Structure formats: structure tokens, C-alpha cells
Amino acid sequence: MITASFAIDAVRKLTTSYKVGNANDYRNPSAACYKRPLCVAEMPPFNRLLNHLEEFLIASFMAAATLVTFAAVVLRYTAGMGISWAQELTIYLFIWMAKFGAAYGVRTGIHIGVDFVVNAARPSIRRVLVILSMLLGVVFTGTIAFFGVRWVMFIYGTGQVSPDLEWPMWIIYLAIPLGSGLMCYRFMQALLLFIKTGQLHSHTAIGEHSEEDAL
């Protein structure tokens, strides 16, 4: 599962170095470089805290959803009773996990992409295409975050609550502006990193010129 890969990558600690062809360096496509994991101490405090919080939330939401579902199934088949709010809570947890997981995917470069046209283009054209794609990501996620804030404010004014848990729905919908805003920030990090170094984030190893160089 994609969500499972988010949680696994979030808690995985890379301890080895990798030698890879720097295929992402569009300014020098034939170059090879050594990539090593990002040292936590090298990162600015804000980014380090944000990364840990992002990973903690993804893992926590996934663990909570799994435990709630497991408990509901066990109770249903052993005691003949279920948890009325289990399905609703699980859905909400997966929504929040997916929104923050999408931002984590941008940061680590694990989103699926079709790069046939990019790889077939000349290096100078590749650079333009990559920058344009990241700009579109910034604009799209920023737009979703903006309208997400407006939607949350609207739902807050209506006083709506969830059917089973009776939680305020504006809290549930906060996943939209928070997740999309974080995703927009990750796109900006990736864009600045690429402009400065010609490298893209990778889920196998983080390059020596990492996100702390971008912001």
C-alpha cells in the first residue's frame, strides 16, 4: 500500500551511503556523484522539527486507524457488538494520513511520475520542464490550501458535527488547508533545491545538497 510505504519510509533510518548516477542533475546529465543520507544535525531547526512532526503524524494516524479497525472487528466476532464510530474515525484518520503523506511524498520524491517526455528532451529543455512542473505543483497546492481555509471557515460558521463522533466538522476539514499548505511548502523546497543544485529529492537517498540548502 502507498500509505504503508509512507509510514515505513518515515521511520526508516538510513545508515549507508549510495553511489548513484546523478540522473536528476539536468545541468550535467552524464555526471555521477555520491549521495548520502541527510544528517539531521545539518538541517535548520524548523525543517528538522517539521520533518519529525510530519513523520510522527503519518505513523500515528496509520497506527490509530489500524488499531481501531482491529478492535472493531474483534469485538464484532467475539462479543457480538461493534464500535459505532469506528468506521467514521478510520475514514477521518486515513484522510489526514493521506494529506500529510502526500506532502511527505513530495519531500522524499516517492510520487509516481511519467517522465518519458522529460527524459527524451535536451538537458536545457528538461530543466525548463522540471521547473514548470514544480511551479504548477506550487500553484495547485497553494490554491487548494487557500480555498481549503475558506471552506473551513464556512463549515465553522455552520456548526456542523460528524454523525457518529459528533466532532466539529471544521476540525476534520482542517486536513485540506494544512496538508495542501505543507505540500506547497515541500514543492517550493524542491523547486529551490533544483534551481540551486540541479538535483531532485530521492526516496533512496538524500543528496548532499538537500532541502536545508533550499530554505
- Angstrom CA distances, 72 to 49, 77, 89, stand at 34, 9, 11
CA distance 173 to 152: 6
CA distance 150 to 154: 6
Over the stretch 43-86, which tens digit does the pLDDT of each residue have? 678 888 999 999 999 999 999 999 999 999 999 888 888 888 99
Domain boundaries, the chain: 2-12+40-214
pLDDT confidence band for 215 (50 / 70 / 90)? low
CA distance 201 to 193: 8
CA distance 204 to 200: 12
Q: What are phi and psi of 33, to 5 degrees?
A: -145, 160
CA distance 73 to 80: 10
Average pLDDT, the chain: 78
Beta-strand pair 32-35/18-21? antiparallel
HSE, CB side, 13 Å, CA atoms: give it for residue 64: 18
The grid coordinates listed for 19 are: 553511489
* Residue pointed to by grid coordinates 469506528: 86
Question: What pTM value is reported for the model?
Answer: 0.70
| 3 state DSSP class of 102 | helix
